[in-house]
A and B are shown apart, each in its own frame.
Chain A
Amino acid sequence: MSLLSMAIRNLMARKVQTALTAAVVLVGIAVTLAVLILSGGVRGGIERASEPFGLLIGSKGSANQLVFNTIFLMDRPLDNLSHAYYEKLAGDDEVQTAVPFALGDQYRGFRIVGTSAGFFDLKGRPADPPYFSLRDGRLFSGPFQAVIGAEVASREGLKVGDRFVSEHGVAASAEPEEHGEHPYEVVGILKPVAAPSDQGIYVSMDSYWISHEHGHEEEGGTADGGQEPSTSAKASSAPGPAVSDEDEAARGVTAVLVKPKSYIGLMKLYQQTNAGKEAQAVLPGQTLAKLFDMLGSGEQALRSIGYVILGMAGLTVCLSLYGSAMERRRSVAILRAIGAGRRHVMAIVLLESSIVMLLGCALGIAGAYGLSAVLSGYIGSRVSIAVTVGFQWSHLGIAGIVLAAGIAAGLIPALAAYRAETARYLAIQ
């Protein structure tokens, strides 16, 4: 009979105590690691979602709002940039592509984004394939044709060829003001990208402007219901007929997604834009870093809670091991009486605490990934961000530290067993 099997038999004889001790370790590890895994996963998901957007240029105001508008399709849109500004930007020597991005309408809470075909060519890095690709159908080629995100298609059951009527404003309303005279036809459905973009409905700029000019007309405006205006060669939209000055004012964009030709061009554009009075340039990475800093304090609080739970788990393990050592003094004395050396009994007790800690840590790691998988699915469904639950050695490192601390705590009862006076405890009935 090996020392290990003796340790296992001792643990089996105290099933409830063993299970409770392992459960405390399990909960401590699972909560702490789940916080770390999910916070890393959310950051990763947000960073991946922002990759294709490049430099964002919008009207002066909150940089966060501009990022929320474009990357997350959230928040009230900033004031529009004028079409002339967009044209000037598209014609800038430093600019490779300038994709318009206009918000204003929605369909059952899903934002309708006026943009150009260039939007679908956006890439994270130059060598990457386009970020967006079609699952069904084709891209829009005329007014009131829509390419919808994967989540819009799945949640609303829309297929290629279906029609829907947009509603004015960026949020769903109980009494929506519908653009009933201009229904959209679904001509394409995008493959999911596990990002907020999956919740977007993408239409041509002329569709967007016609809807809004119609709105102005109804309000006494003089829109001509024309098509998308002409742009420079670098502006990624189809040329359209000339428009009046009044239309020109209405034909703004919420943001322009700019890919500069070079890093120097990027910095020049960034500085020039921010130095001007009309627009702001935002690097999503910088804004997200600030956002993460802000979230970091909350994350730190959650992490601290996890560490407190771990600390309590550690104390409980110590208490449990110490209690069991006190209970087992007689068993230890019996083993010593039949010839076990001090090192034998110390090893048995240490093995017992190690087994409990190993069990708790292993189940805790499994629990952390299980919990993270469940919560990442929930978070993903709420914000359309792919929260990846990835393995990291640092997670095992934390579990390893807890394991080592638990085994070290096991030294207390092990030393108690080592030092136990056999004759004294044999007398205990």
Chain B
Amino acid sequence: MTLISMEQVVKRFRIQGGIMMPVLDVPFFELRQGERKALVGPSGSGKSTLLHLIAGISRPTEGSITFMGKRMDLLREAELDRMRAAHIGYVHQSFQLVPGFTALENVLAAASFGRVLDKRARRGRAAELLEQAGLGHRLHHRPAQLSQGEQQRVAIARALVNGPELLLADEPTASLDVSTAAQVMELLLAAASDTGAALLLCTHDPEQAARMDSSVSMRELSRGPLSPAKGA
């Protein structure tokens, strides 16, 4: 069953002089429920932009994005925020933890915005996920007090806390050493498999891509170079 489908999606950014610079043009993309897919491409190929569009962090300039049967491109912003909070877990390359929050609070914050779990259950679930990620002894440490591997494990726990249908991972191991990267990758795959969530992984690493159900390169996905357009 289709979880995400994108049709004729174009994303342009306004640059100096009011020129709209195209950064992404995807005629069609689809991800099924529980599917694990790798998105491969060099830096600047638009992988992160694609993930932002799917997560509703930014909106497409043209085209349609359907997630769980809802047209994301037509949702009001507050509805997009709710969809993202409750149904999408996002793991970034640079962890993106709130610096002032402890590991537990970073996970709890996502649980609070997601509102999937009962208020009283949130803390227990957050602590449980962090313990599963091997951070039971680090619950009350701030990101600056954690190693990079630990920070990424907190980010994975945060992405999982609301039991999302979709996990988006944007080069989650790119900032980590080989050994830590392997551990984080195992954790992410195990989490996707345990929860049945679909996983869309952006990566440079062919080995990581090979562990997915399927792989697609940005070159295949994206239409050829677009011309800049004047105005909005």
Contact = CB atoms under 8 A, between A and B. Distances in A.
A2 interface: yes
Interface residues of A, number: 28
Contacts of B105: 1, 6, 9
Contacts of A344: 113
Interface in A319-341: 330-331, 333-341
B77 interface: yes
A337 B100 contact: no
Interface stretch (B51-59, B65-73, B208-216, B219-227): B51-59
Interface in B75-109: 77-78, 81-82, 84-86, 90, 92, 94, 96-101, 105, 108-109
B36 interface: no
Q: Is the interface of B mostly helix, strand, loop or mixed?
A: helix
Contact of A338 (B48, B58, B85, B100): B85
20 contacts: A1-B108, A1-B112, A6-B105, A12-B100, A331-B100, A334-B98, A335-B109, A337-B55, A337-B90, A338-B85, A338-B158, A339-B85, A339-B110, A340-B85, A341-B113, A343-B78, A422-B57, A423-B49, A426-B96, A429-B94
Contact of B109 (A338, A421, A423, A427): A338
Contact of A342 (B77, B112, B114): B77
A334 B97 contact: yes
Contacts of A10: 98, 100
A127 interface: no
B81 A9 contact: no
A344 B69 CA distance: 26
A342 B90 CA distance: 18
A339 B158 CA distance: 11
A338 B105 CA distance: 13
A337 B114 CA distance: 11
A2 B49 CA distance: 31
B77 A341 contact: yes
Interface of B: 48-49, 52, 55, 57-58, 77-78, 81-82, 84-86, 90, 92, 94, 96-101, 105, 108-114, 122, 142, 158
Contacts of A338: 84-85, 90, 109-110, 113, 158
A14 interface: yes
A422 to B, nearest CB: 5
A306 B115 CA distance: 48
A6 B92 CA distance: 21
A9 B57 contact: no
A413 to B, nearest CB: 15
A189 B35 CA distance: 98
B61 to A, nearest CB: 13
Contacts of A16: none
A340 B100 contact: no
B58 A2 contact: no
Contact of B98 (A335, A426, A427): A335
Nearest to B83: A339
A336 B77 CA distance: 11
Interface string A343-380: 11000000000000000000000000000000000000
B113 A331 contact: no
Contacts of A1: 105, 108-109, 111-112, 122
A197 to B, nearest CB: 60
Majority-rule SS of A interface residues: helix
Contacts of B92: 337, 426
A334 B96 contact: yes
Contacts of A429: 94
Given A9-B101, A422-B57, A339 B77 contact: no
B59 to A, nearest CB: 10
A421 B49 CA distance: 13
Contacts of A341: 77-78, 81-82, 113
Contacts of B52: 422-423, 426
Interface in A6-37: 6, 9-10, 12-14
Contact of B84 (A2, A339, A343): A339
A1 B110 CA distance: 9
B165 to A, nearest CB: 14
A331 B98 contact: yes
B114 A339 contact: yes
Contacts of A423: 49, 52, 57-58
B202 to A, nearest CB: 14
Contact of B86 (A2, A339, A343): A339
A2 B112 contact: yes
A336 B100 contact: no
A338 B86 CA distance: 9
Q: Which one of A2, A336, A421, A426 has the highest number of Cβ atoms from chain B below 10 Å of its Cβ? A: A426
Contacts of A343: 78
A338 B96 CA distance: 10
Contacts of B142: 13
Contacts of B81: 336, 339-342
Given A422-B58, A423-B52, A423-B58, A337 B96 contact: yes
Contact of B100 (A14, A342, A422): A14
Nearest to A428: B94
Interface string A414-429: 0000000111001101
A14 B78 CA distance: 29
A13 B105 CA distance: 13
A9 B100 contact: yes
Interface string A389-429: 00000000000000000000000000000000111001101
A421 B14 CA distance: 13
A1 B104 CA distance: 10
A332 to B, nearest CB: 9
Contacts of A13: 99-101, 142
